[in-house]
Chain A
Amino acid sequence: MKKVLTVDDSKVVRTMVTRALAPYGCQILEAANGKEGVEVAQRERPDLILLDVTMPVMDGREALIEIRKAPDIQQTPVIMLTAESGRDLVLEIAKLGVKGYIVKPFTAETFAAEVDKVLGAPGGQPVAAVAKANPKCVLVVDDSERVLEMVKSTLAASAEVVTAASGADAIARYGESKAGLVIVDLVMPDMDGFATLAKLKAQGVSGSRFVALSVRGDADAKEKALKAGFVAVVEKPIQADALQALLAGGGEGDESGDGFVADEAGCPVLVVPDAQTKSFGHFLPAAQKALRALAEDGNDRVIVDLAAVTVVNTALVKCVVEVMAQAMGMGLKTAVCATGPTAKALKDVAETRDAVYAETRQAARAAVS
C-alpha cells in the first residue's frame, strides 16, 4: 500500500485531503508543520508528500529544502497544496523540485489531476506506463498519393513525416512512430477515417492530436468528425498554411498540453477548444500543466484565446475561471481574447468580470506587454 504524507497546520485540510485520497486506497500520514513533516517523511518514507506553505514552526518552503537535502527522502515526489501562489514563491519552489502545485481553493478534479501524476488514476495504470506521443512526428493517412506527397513536402522541413495509404497501414505506422499529429482522410476504401481513428486511439498513446481531412463544404462530415474525437477538420484542397498552423499547435488541443499552446509574436497563447469538442475534456489539466511550464520557463504573461469557442456553457466558464485563477496565481499577466457572446458571458461572471479582454490576439498581446 502506498503512503501519502499530508503536511498542513489545519486539521480540517488534512481531513479534506484524507477524504480526497480515499479512492486511491493509500495509507495517510499526517503532520501539522514542516518540522514534523520532515521527521515523519524520514521515518515513514512516503510515496508522496502534500505540503502546505504557510505553517508555524517550519513553513513549507523550508521543509522542502530539508527534504531535498536529506539523502533518504530527497527523491520523494512533493505536491504543494496551498493558498500561497505568488509568482516568486512558485518559481522558488519549482527550482527546488515539486511534482505539482495545487492552489486552494481546489476542486476534486484539480486535486485528482495532480495526484494522478504520482499515484496513477485510482484503479488504473500508473501514468508513467502510458506511451507518450512524439510531438515532432506527423502521420498522414490518405489513399491519395498526391495528398501524401503534398503534406510530406509541406511539413518535411519542420517535422518527421510518416505516410500511410490505408487505415490498416496507419495502425502499424502509428504504433512505430507514436506521431504527435495524425492527419486522417475521412473517406478511404476498406477502413474509413472514423474506424481508423478508433483503432489508433485504442493504442493508448498519450498526447496525439487527430485531425480529419474532408472535402470542402461538407458540414455534416465536419460535425461528425469533431464528435468522433478529431480535434479539427482540414478541408481539401489542403492549404499549406493550414498544415503549418496545425503543426504549430494553433488549431486545436491535444491530451498532453503541448497542442493547446500557441504563440503570438513571442507571447504564449492558451487556445481553448470549443466545449462541444472532445478535446475540451482534456483541456483543463493540460492547460494547468502548460501554465506551470510557462511559469517555470520564466514567462510572465499569457493570452487565453477563446476564438474557437462557439457555445458558452457552465463547463466552459468553470474551465476559464480555473485557468485564469491559476495563471494569475502564478503571477502571469493574463488577457482573454474573446468577442461577442463569449466575452459578454464571461464578463457576467464574477470570477472573470475583471479580466483584461481583447478582441484579437494582437490586442491581447499589447494588453499584457
Chain B
Amino acid sequence: MSDQLIADAAREVLRTTAGARVSETEALDAASRSSDSVIAVLGMVGSRPGTLVLFCQPTIASALAGGMLNMAADELDDATVTDALGELVNQIGGTIKRKLAASGGEIMLAVPSVVRGSSMALRVMGDGTPLAVDLQVDGGAVSLRYWQPKQARG
C-alpha cells in the first residue's frame, strides 16, 4: 500500500464516477480543514488490512454527488450525498483492491459507513501516522487517509 496507489485509485474514481477535475494539492494541515465534514470510512481486511477514510467539506460532497447523478448540488438531500460519499469510498477501495491484486495482494472490503457533522475528530484504531492523500477538485479538496496496523506494514 502506498500513497501513490491511493491517489491513483481516488483520481480514477473521482474522474470516472463523479466527473470531477482532479489535481494534486498540498497536504492539508488540521487548521486548514473546515470544521464541517462528511467522512466516509471503509474497512479493509486480508493481506493488507487497514482503514481508508475519505473526508471533505459538505459543499464538495454535494458537488461530487451531483457529478455522479448529473444533478445540481442544491437538488440533493443529505441522505443522497451521504450515500454518494459511501459509494465513492467503496469504489476507491475496490480500485485499490484491483491494483493490489496485480502484485498478489488480496483484500476484502467492508460495507462503508458515512457520518457528517461539525467539530468532529477522527480517531482510527491503528498505529501512528496514516498515509495521506489530498486531491484538489473544483471548489475544494478531497482528503484520504489510510491507517494500517503496525504488523501489516512493510
Contact = CB atoms under 8 A, between A and B. Distances in A.
A-B complex is real: yes
Interface of A: 9-13, 15-16, 19, 54-56, 82-87, 103-107, 325, 328-329, 331, 333-334, 350-351, 353-354
B86 A10 contact: yes
B8 A350 contact: yes
A107 B16 contact: yes
Interface string B5-41: 1011001110011000000000000000000000000
A354 B94 CA distance: 17
A105 B16 contact: yes
Contact of A104 (B7, B17, B65, B106): B17
Given A11-B80, A83-B93, A103 B98 contact: yes
B91 interface: yes
B101 A329 contact: yes
A83 B95 contact: yes
Interface string B63-98: 001001110000000011001101100110111011
Interface in B91-145: 91, 93-95, 97-99, 101-102, 106, 108-109, 111
Contacts, number: 84
B52 to A, nearest CB: 12
Contacts of B109: 54, 83-84
Contacts of A87: 101
A152 B72 CA distance: 63
B70 A19 contact: yes
Contacts of B5: 354
B101 to A, nearest CB: 5
A259 to B, nearest CB: 26
The secondary structure that dominates the B interface is helix
Contact of A105 (B13, B79, B80): B13
Given A105-B17, A328-B102, A350-B11, A16 B91 contact: no
Given A11-B80, A11-B83, A350-B8, A104 B111 contact: no
A19 B4 CA distance: 33
Contact of B12 (A10, A328, A331, A351): A351
Contacts of A334: 102
A106 to B, nearest CB: 7
Contacts of B108: 86
Contact of B111 (A9, A103, A328, A331): A9
Nearest to B107: A86
Contacts of A351: 8, 12
Contacts of B95: 83, 105, 325
Contacts of A331: 101
Contacts of B4: 354
A107 B17 CA distance: 8
A12 B84 contact: yes
Contacts of B102: 328, 333-334
A104 B91 contact: yes
Contacts of A333: 102
